């Protein structure tokens, strides 16, 4: 909790672009802030007032001297008090949007900066929720955050998933913990006519990727009567949706035996078990092996991890996306469909599309780009922050 009158003040450097902050950009980088001894001495996650170089107020920020993103905007009202009630109001606003969008309480409830809670991810699974406190201030206020979440939504089980690259950049340790309630096992989630088994304690991220929901639905439209291949499938995302859409068969490929086991459980739960198969292994190696075996599929979708999570990895990441497309394209039957996805912040849509097209060409194929998909509306974008629009999905129809 913060006591507004006693907040410290931090100030932009004279050459820092205050206009961007005033127009909605939510971050201040370390080289943009005056980092005197007092500012450097602030505890990571401290709440402070932000001023421009002329001492004009810009709002209330959270400060982490250990991070390249040294300040994150919390509230543009300099009189705001960042406490449990403030957190509850932000969560309530996020909940109102999701309740309008979805009939069942399974969605991303809070999407970080875009929902006014920088560095905070909350995914909801019915009566359970998973919080990812990826910024120091959220870690410091995790008790108030969990309490506000329970008060506003009524969830009874709350998991803290403190893992991932973002926490390392904030200087935070990895930790997964039960903050309230408990779980007996994976949580079944119904989406697009399929059932997904979400491991909220041990799965990737929060246990399920809600962001692909609309892209799963588009793939399902292409899947009727198809032999389908889902590469980097996690818990069966595109495969299970395709089976719900009428696919003749679906094969899920992933390096994680645990993820494939959950995919199989989801297929059985939805009555698709007889049409579903899995293959464990490195995705690149499996695609090469399938080509050597002469395998052919009417619909192939590849949804790899972020190959370019930051700018230093961009070139290598684009080469990896090109390689995915090159290996996947020969597996598509004449007139079939290829879906390629990227969740890389650093690779924009044009770069990803170009890498995918090069890969398809190098795989000896040509095609039409049918559809470009993004994350669903429970993952809103902050227009001033390109990183909030990370997910891209391209669907091609390939020639003979």
Catalytic residues: 343
Do 240 and 196 touch, CB atoms closer than 8 A? yes
Non-local CB neighbours of 162 within 8 Å, separated by 6+ positions: 132, 133, 139, 172, 173, 174, 175, 176, 177
**DSSP calls for 288-352:** HHHHHTT--EEEEEE----S-SSGGGHHHHHHHHHHHHHHHGGGEEEEEEEEEEE--SSS-HHHH
Q: Where are the alpha helices (DSSP H) in 23-59?
A: 37-40
What is the CA angle 75-343-356, rounded to 5?
Answer: 140
Q: Which residue from 168, 159, 100, 101 is spatially nearest to 134, judged by alpha carbons?
A: 168
Which three-class secondary structure state does DSSP give residue 90?
Answer: helix
* Alpha carbon distance 385, 21 (integer Å): 11
């Amino acid at each position: 909790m913060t006591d507004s009158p006693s907040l410290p003040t931090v100030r932009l450097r004279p050459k820092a672009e205050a206009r961007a902050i005033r127009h909605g950009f939510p971050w201040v980088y370390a080289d943009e802030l005056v980092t005197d001894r007092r500012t450097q001495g602030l505890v990571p996650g401290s709440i402070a007032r932000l001023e421009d170089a002329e001492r004009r107020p810009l709002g209330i920020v959270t400060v982490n001297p250990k991070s390249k993103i040294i300040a994150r905007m919390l509230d543009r009202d300099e009189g705001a008090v960042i406490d449990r009630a403030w957190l509850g109001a932000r969560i309530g606003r996020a909940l109102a949007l999701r309740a309008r969008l979805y009939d069942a309480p399974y969605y991303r409830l809070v999407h970080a900066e875009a929902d006014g809670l920088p560095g905070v991810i909350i995914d909801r699974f019915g009566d359970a929720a998973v919080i990812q406190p990826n910024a120091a201030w959220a870690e410091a206020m995790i008790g108030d955050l969990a309490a506000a979440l329970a008060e506003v939504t009524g969830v009874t089980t709350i998991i803290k998933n403190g893992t991932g690259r973002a926490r390392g950049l904030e200087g935070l340790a990895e930790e997964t913990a039960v903050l309230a309630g408990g779980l007996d096992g994976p949580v079944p989630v119904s989406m697009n006519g399929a059932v997904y088994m979400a491991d909220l304690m041990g799965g990737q991220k929060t246990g399920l990727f809600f962001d692909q929901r609309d892209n799963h639905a588009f793939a399902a439209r292409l899947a009727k009567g198809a032999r389908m291949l889902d590469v980097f499938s996690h818990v069966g995302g595109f495969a299970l949706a395709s089976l719900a859409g009428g696919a003749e068969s679906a094969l899920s490929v992933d390096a994680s035996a645990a993820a494939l086991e959950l995919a199989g459980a989801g297929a059985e739960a939805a009555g698709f078990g007889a049409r579903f198969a899995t293959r464990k292994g490195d995705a690149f190696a499996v695609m090469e092996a399938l080509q050597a075996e002469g395998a052919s599929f009417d619909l192939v979708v590849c949804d790899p991890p972020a190959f370019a999570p930051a700018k230093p990895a961009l070139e290598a990441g684009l080469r990896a996306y090109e390689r995915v497309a090159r290996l996947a394209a020969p597996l598509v039957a004449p007139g079939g469909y290829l879906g390629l996805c990227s969740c890389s912040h650093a690779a924009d849509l044009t770069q990803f599309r170009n890498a995918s097209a090069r890969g398809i060409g190098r795989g000896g194929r040509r095609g039409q780009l049918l559809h470009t998909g993004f994350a669903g509306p429970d993952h809103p974008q902050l227009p001033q922050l390109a990183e909030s629009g990370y997910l891209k999905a391209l669907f091609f129809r390939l020639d003979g």
